[in-house]
Amino acid sequence: MHLLKGLSAAPLLLQATFASPTQHDERSAFTCGSVGYDQGKFLLNKPECTIAQCSDLCKENPNCKSYGYGKRICRLYSKCVKDTVKPGKGSPYSYYYYTQVGIVAYPVC
């Protein structure tokens, strides 16, 4: 009887233990990122995109080292943020790049 109770709780424990990477990326993307202007050299310029979709597009592209997001537009870059973005407060874009452990905000690369 105790074994059955333990087994019925297992799916809940597993679900709570493993969060999806997209959820993590989306949360990180909204809490970090620097504003600035790019040099106009990007791999992809995708309109009508969410920040989570933009993050996923960068992850799926082996050439993507960073991305910018603003005004529902996603831009992927083949360079680190510090090599392609000039900081600027008036820009609608926030910039991010990937490391082995997740998203890190500009200017570290």
Q: Which residues contact 62 (CB under 8 A, 6 or more apart)?
A: none
Is 90 exceeded by the pLDDT of residue 99? no
The C-alpha atoms of residue 92 and residue 86 are separated, in whole angstroms, by 13
Residue 1: what pLDDT? 53
Q: DSSP secondary structure string, 33-93? A: -EEEEE-S--SEEESS--HHHHHHHHHH-TT--EEEEETTEEEEESS-HHHHEEE-TT-S-
* pLDDT, greater one: 1 or 34: 34
Contact between 81 and 109 under an 8 Å Cβ cutoff? The reply is yes
Angle (CA) 44 108 69, round 5°: 30
The C-alpha atoms of residue 66 and residue 63 are separated, in whole angstroms, by 9
Is 80 exceeded by the pLDDT of residue 7? no
The C-alpha atoms of residue 62 and residue 71 are separated, in whole angstroms, by 25
Per-residue confidence band for 108, with pLDDT thresholds at 50, 70 and 90? very low
The C-alpha atoms of residue 57 and residue 67 are separated, in whole angstroms, by 9
What does pLDDT average to over the chain? 70
Tens of pLDDT along 43-87?
999 999 999 899 889 888 989 888 999 999 999 998 887 777 788
Q: Tally the residues of the chain.
A: 109
pTM: 0.61
Is 60 exceeded by the pLDDT of residue 21? no
Residue 105: what pLDDT? 44
Q: Judge: domain 20-105, CATH 3.40.50.720.
A: no
